[in-house]
Each structure stands twice: as C-alpha cells, then as structure tokens.
Structure 1
Amino acid sequence: MTQDPSDWWQTSIIDMEPGRIAFRGTPIEDLIGTTSFPEMIWLMLRGDRPTAGQSALLEAALVAGVDHGPQAPSIAAARMAATCGVGLNAALATGINMLGDIHGGAGEQCAELYLDIDTRAQSVPLAQATVDGLGHWRASRGKIVSGFGHRFHKPVDPRAPRLMALVREAADQGIVSGRFADIGEAVQHQIGADRGADIAMNIDGATAVIFCELGFPPPLSRGLFCLSRSVGILAHAWEQTEQGGRNKGPMPPSILPKYVPG
C-alpha cells in the first residue's frame, strides 16, 4: 500500500501552501503587527490566545531569565564558540545545548514539585503537603531542591520577589489563581525552616510559579526558559564577535589546569 506523502507529517500548528501561511487557523498577515511575541508563543504552543494579563505575566517571566553573565555555562560556551570561527547560529546552538538538567532544567523540575504538592494538598493542608512533597523529593532526587538557593544571590535573588509580586497582582485581578504562588512560598519557607536559615527562591522557582499559574506543563518550563535565555546567548555571542578574539578557552592562557597524577 502506497502511503500518501501528505500524511507523513501532520500538524495543527501551521497550514502552509503556496501563497498561504496560517498559524492555528489565523493568516500570518492578520498576526503581523497585531500580535506580540509572547502572544505568538502562547498561540503556537497552546492553540488559543492569551488574555492581556496572561500575556503580560508570560512576558515578565521571559524577560527575567534572559541572561546571567559569562559565569553561566551557557553564556560562556556561546562566547567561546564565537571565538572559534563559527557563525552566530552555531554559537547560539552551543549555548542552548548547555541548558540541561542542572543548568536550565531546574524550572521544569521545580514545576513538577509544585504540581506534586498541589495534588497532595487536595487531601491535606498545604503545610503538610509541602513537608510530604519535599520529603518525597529528597528521597528520590537528593537534598538540593530545584528552584531554591543561588550561588551568588543570598538570601535574595532580585528577580524572584518582583516576579512573585506580579503573580500576586495578577491573582488579585483574577488573571491567575495564586495557588502556585502559595505553594512556591510554602516550599521556600519550609526549606528555610529545615536548614535554619533563609534561602532564596531563584529565577527557576519564580518562573515555575508563573508557568504553573498559566497552565503550562513542566517540560515547557524548560522550553520557555530556553527561549528566554537564547536572547542573552545571542547578545553575548554577538558582543564577543564584535570584540574579536581567537580560540578563547574557559581560562586565560596564564592559568593552567591543575595537574593531578592518575
């Protein structure tokens, strides 16, 4: 039986043929100039249009995660790639490919924790659900809780309070429920109580609150962070291209790795 070649790929995202481009049923010419980039992201991922408030909250999360400087592996890798004679697209891909479970994936993992606690809280008070959820996390994933703590920003990551304030404002306006803001703050409080010292909710913890409030599945927390951080990666790759430099490694030539006999 011969397969119809048109059945090879099936998509509800785009309808494209000569002279026609439509995203989720809307002609591209009706989107250009009327639709913001966060709205377009929402449309492409979910198939419908966000409200103005939902779009603003998504945009805030995307803006907050764009960059954290060359000490971030993704940024450093892109800058090094830019000195190796590759194009911007390759430098950009190099940086994005560094966004794994530890650097870049914490938002996805944190969203999973929030959703687990939310499920538990259907039958027990939130405080108990938080204790139980953290206990399950630590038993299965170890003591480090994704979304909390930061090697530079102690005890406050300056991005998180602003994002959480925007979530609270959105909840007051009925744009989101505020449920996951409660969960995020409960987790932050419980970790601080367990360790006997305050701990920062970091960018991953705060954006996970927003993505959960907006109804994005956890894997998209990582995907959306990659979109956000790609802006910073591109900016640094371009800046390094303009600065020049050849074959720059992670350390200046005057600093050599410590040799340890095997």
Structure 2
Amino acid sequence: MRIGSAVEAKSGISASNPEMIVVRGYDLSKGLVGHISFTDHVWLLITGTAPEASQRRVLDATLVAIAEHGLVPSVVAARMTLAAAPEALQGAVAAGILGCGSVILGSSQAAGDFFHEIAEAAKASGDMDGTIRETVTRYRAAKRAIPGYGHPLHKGGDARAARLFEVAAEAGLSGEHIKVARAVEALLPELIGKALALNVSAAIPAVLLDAGFPVKALKGIPILARTASLVGHLLEEQLRPIGFIMAHEASSAITYDGTSPEGFVANEG
C-alpha cells in the first residue's frame, strides 16, 4: 500500500556514474571542489542555484551569528552525552541538535513563518500596521508567543540582530521582511503592553527571506551553524572534560522533595 502523496519518484539534487558526481547540475570534482565556499554550497544545495555575492554574505553572517552561544542546553546535552559515550561523537552531536525547538534554535523558523505571513497579507491589503495588529492579536488570542522578540539577557537589544540588519543593508538586500520585523517591534508595546526587543532569532529569518532564501528551509540554518559549534565543544570535551562536572552540579543544584524513609537525607555525603 502506498503511503503519502502520489508524486514522481525523482530527485533533482545529485546523481553519479563511474566517471562523475553531479550536484545541482555541477560536476562536483571539477566545478565545485576548490572553486566555491561551503556557504556557497549550502545555498546551492538548498535552493538549486548558486548565490549572488550579496546572498552569500548574508547567509554567511547568519551562520556566524548563531553558531556559538556558550553552555546552552544543546551544548550541555552534547557534552554530557559524549562523557557517557565517548566513542559516539555522532551521537553527541545528534543529542545537541535533537533539542532544536520552539525555545532553542527552532524559533527562527517560527519567526520566519510569522514574518512571511504578515508580508504576504500586507502585500494584498496594502496596510502593514493593520496586518501586524490583526496577526499579533490572533496569536495572543491563541496563547501563542510572538516569535523572535525578547531575550532573558539582551533585554535592551540584541547586538547580533543589529549587526545582521547592517550586513543586509550593506549587501543591498534590506527589504520587506526586515521592515516587518522592525514594525512588529515598534507596535508590540501597544499590542501586548510591553516593549520586547527583537532578537537574533528574528533577524536571521528576516535577512534571509529578504535575500531570497526559502521560508521552509529556515530552521536548517541554526541547526547547521550550531553543529559546527558542537563539534568544537566536543573536541574540547575530549581534551578538557566537563560533562560529568556538569552532571554533578546539576544533581547538587536540585533539591529532592519527594517522600523518603525516615532519616533519609538526599545528597548526603
């Protein structure tokens, strides 16, 4: 029994024969290796076309901006996994990436969907502010967070977001989605009763969408960037291990409040 939609059994990404490997229409060995950067290759693999210099610059900037952010949950999970299974680097990287969701890393996709929805509706209505008001009100009524705004540390503004907007402007790619992102930030005090600065998870999709990056692939960019950082952390974990230290500190930081036999004291000794 066939499962899923009935589509042609075809793929346009790569193929090979004994003499050649073709990737998106290019001879991999002669046309790509040694000729393009990895950032170029990412754009090519995802979109099917080689990037313009301006598109490469914006994509490169987003990858650099989101790759590393200290001992965040994805890094902690990866380092503790490697401590427990030192032979499985791939498992440790996977452990770090599996937590990509609405709070960590995945919020760029949610913000991109949000901006894309507003930009398309505003194009039809000719009223960006009205579209933002309607969309934010609908999100709030559904108890959905406004993705890409607010940060527990960078409350006064996220320097990474500001720099990404500068890069987009320098590359000549500052467009409608950046306008939407900034307009939402300006209207939030009126709409939700408090100011929330846009963060890097808002800036990444805004600049990428203005550069022509596909909305459905946005989540892949933070995942790709953080993978590079995880490999760095996992090399350090092998040379200067802290995984079990983090596990011990986590155990010490949590107070047991369940039932226990008389005289039992948790974490004693």
> Which of the five TM-score ranges fits, normalised by the shorter chain?
0.7 to 0.9
Given that residues 109 and 218 in structure 1 are in contact (C-alpha distance below 8 angstroms), is that contact kept between their aligned partners in structure 2? no
1:259 aligns with 2:261: no
Deviation at 1:256, TM superposition (A): 4.8
Equivalent of residue 225 in structure 1, options 222, 226, 251? 222
Given that residues 168 and 181 in structure 1 are in contact (C-alpha distance below 8 angstroms), is that contact kept between their aligned partners in structure 2? no
Q: How does 1:85-234 map to 2 (within 5 A)?
A: 85-86=85-86, 87-122=88-123, 123-142=125-144, 144-170=145-171, 173=172, 176=173, 178-234=175-231
Unaligned runs of 5+ in 2: 1-7, 260-269
Given that residues 79 and 243 in structure 2 are in contact (C-alpha distance below 8 angstroms), is that contact kept between their aligned partners in structure 1? no
CA distance in 2, matches of 1:253, 1:128: 47
**TM-score, length basis structure 1:** 0.87
Letter in 1 for 2:84: C
Identity %: 28
Deviation at 1:233, TM superposition (A): 1.3
* SS in structure 2 of the partner of residue 22 of structure 1: strand
Give deviations 1:142-196, integer Å, cap 9, x for gaps: 2x211111111111111000001122223xx3xx351111000011111234455
* SS in structure 1 of the partner of residue 132 of structure 2: helix
Deviation at 1:217, TM superposition (A): 3.3
Q: Name which one, 1 or 2, has greater alpha-carbon Rg.
A: 2
Letter in 2 for 1:127: D
Give deviations 1:58-102, integer Å, cap 9, x for gaps: 1111110101110x1111111111211333222111101111232
Provide the alpha-carbon RMSD of the alignment.
2.1
Cα 1:254/1:184, change in 2 over 3 Å: closer
Deviation at 1:10, TM superposition (A): 3.2
Give the match for residue 25 of structure 2: 25
Superposition misfits of 4+ residues, deviation over 3 angstroms: 192-198, 245-251
Deviation at 1:140, TM superposition (A): 2.8
* SS in structure 2 of the partner of residue 121 of structure 1: helix
Given that residues 155 and 198 in structure 1 are in contact (C-alpha distance below 8 angstroms), is that contact kept between their aligned partners in structure 2? no
Deviates more, 1:96-105 or 1:35-44: 96-105
Given that residues 14 and 24 in structure 1 are in contact (C-alpha distance below 8 angstroms), is that contact kept between their aligned partners in structure 2? yes
Deviation at 1:260, TM superposition (A): 2.6
CA distance in 1, matches of 2:105, 2:195: 23
Cα 1:215/1:136, change in 2 over 3 Å: farther
How many pairs align? Answer: 249
Given that residues 76 and 250 in structure 1 are in contact (C-alpha distance below 8 angstroms), is that contact kept between their aligned partners in structure 2? no
Cα 1:254/1:49, change in 2 over 3 Å: closer
Q: How does 1:27-66 map to 2 (within 5 A)?
A: 27-29=27-29, 30-66=31-67
Letter in 1 for 2:187: Q
CA distance in 1, matches of 2:70, 2:240: 16
CA distance in 2, matches of 1:212, 1:59: 14
